[in-house]
């Protein structure tokens, strides 16, 4: 199997799988550690709470498989909560994150600010402010709109890993990139043609 989408009970697994398959990629949902080890690329999607999802990962022994895949420099994509799990801590929970990237996950807090009328969670379409030469954003115009659904956002310690940002009261990190490691806060499977292009770009990296 070329691309494994890690199964830990998150709600959007099948839609991510179908998006890859629609584009002709050999992709499947699995929690089999051998399959993850043999895959050419790995996707960690996610919806739900930080602690609950991490508990499922650890209960199924998947943390080590994820760490091994990243250490082997396989193309790796964290989506939404899957991106947040790459960091050390989150204000949403008490568990330690995967700590692949230094930094923490914060909650939008617009109280006592000029943006206090903004709703949380941040839901709907918003633009990407792209950094230069990010492989999964190849062919995508700066300012392109993608679909978000989240109350928390990652705050990387190393600003060099920021691949895109988005304005929502504050300018927050909407994607990260380090080598073959990518994380995106938005949902590409719900983001129309732009999202499919991002999925295709990642899939193509897996086949190199």
State the catalytic residue, choosing from 17, 122, 150, 189. Answer: 189
State the catalytic residue, choosing from 17, 150, 187, 206. Answer: 187
Residue 189 appears among annotated catalytic residues: yes
Cα separation, 133 vs 150, in Å, equals: 26
Residue 111 appears among annotated catalytic residues: no
State the catalytic residue, choosing from 17, 80, 122, 206. Answer: 80
Residue 171 appears among annotated catalytic residues: no
| Residues labelled as active-site residues | 80, 187, 189
């Amino acid at each position: 199997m070329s691309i494994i989408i890690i199964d830990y009970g998150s709600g959007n697994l099948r839609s991510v799988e179908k998006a890859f398959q629609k584009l002709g990629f050999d992709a499947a949902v699995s929690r089999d550690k051998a399959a993850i080890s043999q895959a050419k690329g790995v996707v960690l999607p996610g919806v739900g709470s930080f602690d609950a999802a991490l508990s499922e990962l650890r209960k199924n022994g998947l943390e080590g498989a994820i760490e091994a895949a990243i250490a082997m420099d396989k193309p790796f994509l964290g989506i939404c909560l899957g991106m947040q799990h790459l960091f050390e801590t989150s204000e949403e929970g008490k568990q330690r994150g995967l700590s692949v990237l230094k930094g923490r996950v914060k909650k939008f807090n617009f109280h006592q600010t000029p943006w206090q009328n903004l709703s949380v969670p941040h839901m709907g379409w918003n633009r990407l402010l792209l950094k230069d030469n990010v492989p999964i954003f190849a062919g995508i115009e700066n300012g392109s709109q993608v679909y978000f659904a989240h109350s928390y956002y990652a705050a990387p310690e190393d600003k060099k890993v920021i691949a895109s940002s988005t304005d929502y009261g504050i300018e927050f990190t909407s994607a990260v990139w380090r080598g073959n490691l990518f994380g995106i806060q938005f949902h590409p499977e719900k983001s129309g043609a732009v999202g499919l292009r991002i999925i295709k770009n990642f899939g193509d990296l897996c086949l190199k």
